[in-house]
Every structure is written in C-alpha cells, then in structure tokens.
Amino acid sequence: MAADRDVTKKYPVKQFIQKIRRLADGLEAGEQFTIQIAGERIRVPKHATVSVEHERGEGTEEIEFQITWKNDA
C-alpha cells in the first residue's frame, strides 16, 4: 500500500490550464487520466467522483476541484 500523502503544489496559470484541459478531455471521453503532481505520477480511474468545494472564512475564499476514488487493493 502506498504511503499517506497530503501535498499542495502551486503551478503557473498556463501549466494549471493545461492540466485542467487534459483532465476535462479525459473525463469527457470516459477515460483514465494520469497527472503528475509534485513529481509523482497519479492514475485517476474513469470511475472517480468529481466535486467542487467552496470555503469562506477570515477574509479568504477557496475553491477546490476534488477528484476522489477508492484504490483497488
């Protein structure tokens, strides 16, 4: 089993757009999506659940695009 990991990686806007565009293309095609985040390649299965989260507090706001799935172990 892979070790626990909680990483936040900032990307330049152009690179972020490229990643989101590839994700959207994969989701639209119903295909598995592979993304590299902070040096690790991650395979997102086509059955993953996609959600959008909005948080507000103490003068800040945040939007998170979340993709979740169960690992086949």
Flag whether pLDDT at 61 surpasses 90. yes
Q: Please state whether 34 falls in left (phi above 0), alpha (psi between -120 and 50) or beta.
A: beta
Token pair listed for 28: 């639209």
Helical H segments across 7-71, by residue range: 13-29
Please write the tens of the pLDDT for every residue from 1-45. 567 889 888 999 999 999 899 989 988 999 998 988 888 999 999
pLDDT for position 3:
76
Q: What angle do CA 55, 12, 18 make, to 5 degrees?
A: 90
pLDDT for position 2:
67
pLDDT for position 72:
73
pLDDT for position 73:
57
Q: Decide: 35 and 48 in contact? Cβ < 8 Å.
A: no
Report CA-CA distances (Å) from 70 to 22, 23, 45, 48, 59: 22, 18, 9, 8, 34
